[in-house]
Amino acid sequence: SSCYDCGYNDNNCKMKFKILSHAGISITEKNKTLIIDPWLIGSCYWRSWWNFPELTNEEYDSISADYLYLTHLHWDHFHSASLKLFFDKNIPIYVPKVQTKRMVEDLKYLGFNNVIEIPHNKKIKICDEFSLHSFQFGPGVDSGIMVSTEQYNLFDANDCKIGRAHV
């Protein structure tokens, strides 16, 4: 995995993002970190999918977040073993508000108590450093997320089939 900054030689640029795994991204602005879709350990889909390359021990030890966003319920994005091992049960977890409550219910079943749904095309400020703008696509429960800081926007489309959709 690699760490990227905003791409400019600008000392005021604070946004950094790191690709952690298959769909996992860590975004840091100043002293706050948001992780999206943290599948960090083990396999999914009946041991048929594995992260490559795996995180190093140093990377495992440095996993830390103030907030999580889960784009959808597929196991390579909503990975219960990673959630349970790496994150406190009270961490704010943001999810797209969709037709079903399955993601919310599954997170509560895992013991997570601070689950917040974001409606389609709704932008919410989660702290001084980050705003999240969620976009739900198709009849399923897939979402893309715009992460905004004071200076930059990062759009994570992950598995979204945007096609002709109007974002």
Mean pLDDT of 60-75: 94
User: In DSSP terms, which residues pair with 125 in a beta bridge?
Assistant: 131
Q: Is the dihedral of CA 36, 41, 50, 75 positive or negative?
A: negative
Q: Average pLDDT, whole number, for the chain?
A: 88
User: What pTM value is reported for the model?
Assistant: 0.89
Mean pLDDT of 116-124: 94
Task: Identify the pLDDT of residue 10.
Answer: 53
**Is residue 1 very low, low, confident or very high in pLDDT (cuts 50, 70, 90)?**
very low
Task: Identify the pLDDT of residue 137.
Answer: 81
Mean pLDDT of 64-89: 95
